[in-house]
Structure 1
Amino acid sequence: MSEADRSALEEISIRNLGVIENAVVPFTKGLNVLTGETGAGKTMVLTALALILGGKSDQDLIRSGSERLSAAGIFRLSKKSEPELKELLKTHDPEIENNRLLFTRSVSSDGKARANLGGVAVPASVLANFGEELIEIHGQSANVRLTKTVRQRELLDRYAGEKFAEKLSRYRDDYQSYHELSKNIAELKVALKKRDQEIADLEELVEAYAKIRPNSGELSNVENDISRLDSIEDLRAGAAMADNVLNSESENVLISLAIARRSLESIKGKDAQLDEIREALVESILNLNDVAADLSRYTENLDLDPNALANAQDRRAQLNSIIKKFGKNPDKYQALEEIIVDAEKAKARIIDLTGGEDRITALSKELEASFQVLQDSAQKISGLRAASAKKLGNLVTTEVRQLAMPHATFSLKINTYDSAEIKNYSINGLDEVLMIFASHSGGELLPIAKAASGGELSRLMLALEVVIAESEPLGTYVFDEVDAGIGGKAAIEVGRRLSALSKNAQVIVVTHLAQVAAWADNHLVVIKSESGVITESSITKVAGAERESEIARMLSGQEESAIAKEHAKELLTIVRG
Structure 2
Amino acid sequence: MLAQLRVRNYALIDDLEVEFGPGLTVLTGETGAGKSIIVGALSLALGERHDATMLRTGADHCTIEARFTGVNRLAEDCRAQGIELDEEELIVRRRAGADGRSSAWLNDAAVTVGTLRRVGDRLVDLHGQHQHQLLLDPQAQLSILDASARLEATRTRYRAGYEELRAAEAELAALETEAAARRQRQDLTAFQARELTEAAVVAGEADALRREQELLASVERRHRLVRELGEMLSERDGSAVELASTIADRVAELAKLDPALTDDVEPTRTARVLLDELWRKISRYQDSIEFAPERADEVNARLFLLEKLERKYAVAADELPALAEKLTGELAAAELDESRAEKLRRDIESRRRTLLDAATDITRRRRSAGTELSRRVGTEFRALGLENARLEVVVDGPKRPSASDLGPDGIDTVEFRFSANPGEELKPLRRVASGGELSRIMLALKSTLARVALVPVMIFDEIDAGIGGRVAEAVGRRLARLGRTQQVICITHLPQLARCADHHFLIEKTTSRGRTRTGLCRLEGDDRVRELARMTAGAKVTETTLAHARELLTEKGKID
Cα distance between partner residues in 2 of 1:455 and 1:17 = 32
How many residues are matched?
548
1:518 corresponds, among 499, 513, 521, to 499
> Which residues in structure 2 correspond to 1:331-346 (within 5 Å)?
335=319
SS of aligned partner of 2:72: coil
Superposition deviation, residue 208 in structure 1: 3.1
1:539 corresponds, among 497, 521, 538, to 521
Give the AA of the match of 1:318.
Answer: L
Superposition deviation, residue 390 in structure 1: 2.3
1:208 aligns with 2:208: no
Distance 1:515 1:317, change over 3 A: same
Superposition deviation, residue 478 in structure 1: 0.9
Cα distance between partner residues in 1 of 2:450 and 2:470 = 24
Distance 1:137 1:170, change over 3 A: closer
SS of aligned partner of 1:28: coil
2:67 corresponds, among 74, 80, 97, to 74
1:571 aligns with 2:545: no
Distance 1:41 1:291, change over 3 A: closer
Distance 1:263 1:560, change over 3 A: closer
Superposition deviation, residue 219 in structure 1: 2.7
Cα distance between partner residues in 2 of 1:62 and 1:176 = 39
Contact 1:411 1:436 (8 Å CA) reproduced:
yes
Q: In structure 2, what is the equivalent of residue 119 of structure 1?
A: 108
2:42 corresponds, among 43, 49, 57, to 49
Q: Which runs of 5+ in 2 are unaligned?
A: 257-261
Superposition deviation, residue 529 in structure 1: 5.0
Q: In structure 2, what is the equivalent of residue 26 of structure 1?
A: 19
Cα distance between partner residues in 2 of 1:253 and 1:129 = 110
Cα distance between partner residues in 2 of 1:322 and 1:77 = 83
Percent sequence identity over aligned pairs: 28
Distance 1:354 1:253, change over 3 A: farther
1:37 corresponds, among 30, 41, 48, to 30
More divergent stretch after superposition (126-135 vs 283-292): 283-292
SS of aligned partner of 1:140: coil
Contact 2:45 2:94 (8 Å CA) reproduced:
yes
Q: In structure 1, what is the equivalent of residue 357 of structure 2?
A: 376
1:140 aligns with 2:129: yes
Superposition deviation, residue 13 in structure 1: 1.6
SS of aligned partner of 1:80: helix
2:209 corresponds, among 213, 218, 222, to 222
Superposition deviation, residue 551 in structure 1: 2.4
Distance 1:47 1:210, change over 3 A: closer
Cα distance between partner residues in 1 of 2:311 and 2:79 = 62
1:438 corresponds, among 391, 400, 419, to 419
More divergent stretch after superposition (458-467 vs 387-396): 387-396
SS of aligned partner of 1:96: coil
1:319 corresponds, among 284, 302, 306, to 306
More divergent stretch after superposition (131-140 vs 52-61): 52-61
1:386 aligns with 2:367: yes
Contact 2:511 2:517 (8 Å CA) reproduced:
no
Give the AA of the match of 1:495.
Answer: G
Q: In structure 1, what is the equivalent of residue 259 of structure 2?
A: none
Q: Which runs of 5+ in 1 are unaligned?
A: 1-7
SS of aligned partner of 1:150: helix
Superposition deviation, residue 192 in structure 1: 9.2
Superposition deviation, residue 381 in structure 1: 0.7
Give the AA of the match of 1:314.
Answer: A
Q: What whole-Å deviation, never above 9, does each CA across 1:500-550 have from its counterpart, x for those lacking one?
A: 3223321110111111012112222234557486687x51142x4443343
SS of aligned partner of 2:149: helix
Distance 1:282 1:152, change over 3 A: closer
Contact 2:233 2:275 (8 Å CA) reproduced:
no
Query: RMSD over aligned Cα, in angstroms?
Result: 4.7
Distance 1:386 1:492, change over 3 A: same
Contact 1:549 1:559 (8 Å CA) reproduced:
no
Give the AA of the match of 2:209.
Answer: V
Cα distance between partner residues in 2 of 1:19 and 1:392 = 41
Q: In structure 1, what is the equivalent of residue 279 of structure 2?
A: 288
Cα distance between partner residues in 2 of 1:126 and 1:505 = 23
Give the AA of the match of 1:80.
Answer: R
Superposition deviation, residue 377 in structure 1: 1.7
Cα distance between partner residues in 2 of 1:212 and 1:19 = 83
Distance 1:253 1:374, change over 3 A: farther
Give the AA of the match of 2:501.
Answer: A
SS of aligned partner of 1:101: strand
Cα distance between partner residues in 2 of 1:72 and 1:32 = 19
Superposition deviation, residue 457 in structure 1: 1.7
Contact 1:17 1:63 (8 Å CA) reproduced:
yes
SS of aligned partner of 2:452: coil
1:456 aligns with 2:456: no
Contact 1:326 1:339 (8 Å CA) reproduced:
no
Cα distance between partner residues in 1 of 2:332 and 2:65 = 68
TM-score (norm 2): 0.79
Give the AA of the match of 1:312.
Answer: V
Q: In structure 1, what is the equivalent of residue 149 of structure 2?
A: 160
1:9 aligns with 2:33: no
Contact 2:165 2:348 (8 Å CA) reproduced:
yes
SS of aligned partner of 1:151: helix
Superposition deviation, residue 263 in structure 1: 12
Give the AA of the match of 1:227.
Answer: E
Cα distance between partner residues in 1 of 2:63 and 2:277 = 107
Q: What whole-Å deviation, never above 9, does each CA across 1:221-270 have from its counterpart, x for those lacking one?
A: 3111333455667656655655676798xx6665x96699699999x999
Distance 1:486 1:11, change over 3 A: same
Cα distance between partner residues in 1 of 2:5 and 2:225 = 110
Cα distance between partner residues in 1 of 2:201 and 2:57 = 89
> Which residues in structure 2 correspond to 1:90-489 (within 5 Å)?
90-94=79-83, 96-108=85-97, 113-161=102-150, 164-165=151-152, 167-168=154-155, 171-172=158-159, 175=162, 178=165, 205=193, 208-212=196-200, 214=202, 218-229=205-216, 238=225, 281=272, 284-285=275-276, 287-292=278-283, 294-295=285-286, 298=289, 301-302=290-291, 304-305=292-293, 311-320=298-307, 335=319, 364-365=345-346, 367-417=348-398, 420-489=401-470
Cα distance between partner residues in 1 of 2:275 and 2:378 = 125
Q: What whole-Å deviation, never above 9, does each CA across 1:449-497 have from its counterpart, x for those lacking one?
A: 3322322221211111111112222111111121122211111111122
Q: What whole-Å deviation, never above 9, does each CA across 1:194-217 have from its counterpart, x for those lacking one?
A: 999999979955653444565x75
Cα distance between partner residues in 1 of 2:82 and 2:429 = 42
Superposition deviation, residue 385 in structure 1: 0.5
Q: In structure 2, what is the equivalent of residue 4 of structure 1?
A: none
Cα distance between partner residues in 1 of 2:109 and 2:244 = 108
Contact 1:23 1:534 (8 Å CA) reproduced:
no
Cα distance between partner residues in 1 of 2:48 and 2:265 = 111
Contact 1:206 1:346 (8 Å CA) reproduced:
no
Distance 1:114 1:554, change over 3 A: same
TM-score (norm 1): 0.77
Distance 1:79 1:56, change over 3 A: closer
